[in-house]
Amino acid sequence: MTNKKHGAKAPVSAPARNILSVATGVPGFDAVLGGGLPEFSFNLIAGSPGSGKTTLAQQVMFANATPERPALYFTVLGEPTLKMLRYQREFGFFDSAKVGSAIHYLNLSAEALEEDLRVVLDRVVSEVERTKPGIVVVDSFRTFLGPIREATPGGAMTLDNFIQRLALHLTTWEVTSFLIGEYGEQEQRNPVFTVADGVFWLSQVIDRNSVVRKLQAIKVRGRAPMPGLHTFRITDAGVQIFPRIPEQQSQRRPQEAHRLATGVPGLDEAMGGGIPAGDAVMLGGPAGSGKTTFATQFAAEGLRQGEAVVIVVFEEYPEEYLARAKARNHDIAALIGPSNFKLIYLRPLDLSVDETLAEILEWVHAIGATRVVIDSLSGFEVALAPGFREDFRESLYRLVGALTATGVTIFMTTEVVGSYPEVRFTTEKVSFITDDIIIQRFVEIDGVLRTVLAIHKMRGSEHSHDFLTYEITAQGAVLGGALRNYRGIMTGVPEREVRLAHRGHDGLTDRESSVLDTLARLGGASRDLLGERMGVPSAELAQTLVRLEALGYAVVTEDDGGTYRAVAQITG
């Protein structure tokens, strides 16, 4: 259903609305408003000077004005019309062909200088009745209301009366209108906020050297706007709003029941057959452990399988990143095409999570990507504006939730800080948002620096529990065998394990072997101490200890209060 009075309209979703929606023409604004502006609504765009109020109103006006239903833009004492047009014509939304035909600029400076709101109102009324517009903007009415409010001779119209009469006229004429005003946050009890159908607050948040613009739909009658603050930017194209995105997670696609090959020889087997499609994978390791190598092999494998891939980088320039990827995967250059691969480079220090997500989602949809690589979360955190870093956990939760809702598989890298078991993946604990976690580690064995990894977590999937060695070769990362007969591997300085010499009996259960290994390390322990060290009730160990004693793997000395000892020898 389309209303021709205002040009393009936002689609009306079920259930059908009695009030039609006006498409704003501002990317992201319709989503924030809950489906566009209610037609014939009386709206206030408020905020501090320089926050983008005029640009937002102009962009909505140019998107909707037609010669049949033109727009009237009233300017007052704020700035001359020619000066405003000089700067607004620099934006991509500005169409000079509409000026004078579909859009008319009118200056109210002469009326405002008479210091009588009635004169101002009469001029607005006469122009609206004459041109029959669809859009009316008054910018900025506060520049003259202040002086007039001070001089109120007998019978002069008050500010409250002016606003109420103006709103009544505009809604009676079936006009979608905007008042633009400079307000501080402490002024939200002003009468105009009560009269308005929609109130949109623009602000600039300053944190050290970072400035982030935000918009809040404080009030939208007849709609369910998105709550909270929404980041926006003013670019050459105009205003672009980046809505908050939690609601996208409710539209999550069903997860497909297949696994993706990682491209790293040996890793698929360790992960129980590869990465389940739609999972969020986090690979954590120290600097130089090969995280980017693993990530690019995952991307290259996707291209080999005919999939589309998006890579997001924060720390290296795109040319350098691709050069390194091609050096490790010699056939990747032949696999990359314009419709199956996009490398996104994001490095500004005032980035928001919503901007990042908007950029990634745009390319995921554009090329139909099934794999997304984020390299790295550490770089992403640094690139965010300081205010967003404080909420990094919540930001990352929204980012990953919105991406996985589209069905893509995410492979993220992050730098590990600290040593096991106090491993920290970022300045916030974010492991809960991931489905699979792989940890890399440097260890020193016999004077040689080795690299190992472990599958720390996989939701709903069997996987290897070994520490697996790996090498970074000229062809990329390759997994080796399990690092056995060592303990304390994650400390970086592992020690050789005690190997037991048994007396003719090989078959022990996993529980029995585990109990025997613990006894060997402790040198002897009571059943209660053994249960405490193993994290199981001591009563559950009774039968196991009886069997180990019967088979000759352990002995118990009652004179020591029931101390069990393993029959063992130290082997090289």
Can you give the pLDDT at residue 77? 60
How far is CA 293 from each of CA 279, 326, 381, rounded to the nearest angstrom? 20, 11, 21
Q: Tally the C-alpha atoms within 13 A of residue 189's C-alpha that lie toward its C-beta.
A: 1
Q: What pLDDT score does 175 carry?
A: 92
What was the pLDDT predicted at 504?
39
pTM (predicted TM-score): 0.70
In whole angstroms, what is the distance from residue 122 CA to residue 111 CA?
9
Encoded tokens for 43: 């709206």
For the chain, domain boundaries: 4-244, 250-491, 498-566
- Cα–Cα distance between 125 and 236 in angstroms, integer? 34
- Cα separation, 496 vs 459, whole angstroms: 31
pLDDT at residue 119, as a whole number: 85
Looking at residue 388, what is its pLDDT? 72
Q: What is the pLDDT of residue 61?
A: 97
In sequence order, which residues have a C-beta less than 8 Å from that of residue 68 and are 6 or more positions away?
A: 4, 5
Instruction: Label residues 439-468 b or e (16+ Cβ within 10 Å = b).
Output: bbbebeeeeeebbbbbbbbbeebebbeebb
Q: Give one DSSP letter per residue of 98-157, joined into a string.
A: GBTTTEEEEE-HHHHHTT-HHHHHHHHHHHHHHH--SEEEEETTHHHHHHHHH---TTPP
CA distance 318 to 65: 41
| Per-residue confidence (pLDDT) for residue 2, from 0 to 100 | 39
pLDDT of residue 524: 82
Q: What is the reported pLDDT for 183?
A: 79
For residue 176 the two structure tokens come to 């979608």
Sign of CA dihedral 1, 13, 244, 309: negative
CA dist 251 and 146 (Å) reads: 49
Q: Assign 3-class secondary structure to 274-325.
A: CEECCCEEEEEECCCCCHHHHHHHHHHHHHHCCCCEEEEECCCCHHHHHHHH
Identical fold between 250-491 and 498-566: no
Select from 1.10.10.10, 3.40.50.300, 3.40.50.12280, 2.60.40.1930 the CATH code of 4-244: 3.40.50.300
Q: Which CATH number fits domain 498-566: 1.10.600.10, 3.30.43.10, 1.10.10.10, 3.50.50.60?
A: 1.10.10.10
pLDDT at 499: 53
pLDDT of residue 429: 55
CA distance 464 to 77: 72
From the number of C-beta atoms within 10 Å of its C-beta (0-12, 13-18, 19+), residue 391 rates as middle
Task: Provide the pairing of β-strand 198-207 with 176-182.
Answer: unpaired
pLDDT for position 416: 81
Token duo for residue 146? 């202040």
Cα 546 versus chain centre, distance: 56
- Which residues are CB-contacts of 114 (< 8 A; sequence separation ≥ 6)? none
| CATH number of the 250-491 domain | 3.40.50.300
Q: What is the pLDDT along the chain (572 residues), one digit of tens a residue?
A: 334 444 444 444 444 567 888 999 999 999 999 999 999 999 999 998 889 999 999 999 999 999 999 999 998 765 677 888 888 999 999 999 999 999 999 988 777 777 677 888 889 999 999 999 999 999 876 655 554 544 445 556 676 677 778 878 887 888 999 999 887 776 666 767 888 899 999 998 777 667 788 999 999 998 889 988 898 999 999 999 998 764 444 455 556 678 999 999 999 999 999 999 999 999 999 989 999 999 999 999 999 999 999 999 988 888 888 888 888 776 788 889 889 999 998 876 667 778 888 889 889 999 999 999 999 888 888 777 776 766 677 778 878 888 888 889 999 998 886 655 455 544 445 667 889 999 998 888 878 888 999 998 898 788 988 889 999 988 889 998 888 777 767 666 667 665 554 443 456 777 777 788 788 877 788 888 887 777 677 787 888 888 888 878 888 887 656 888 888 533 33
- Please give the helix or strand (H or E) that residue 45 lies within, else none: strand 42-47
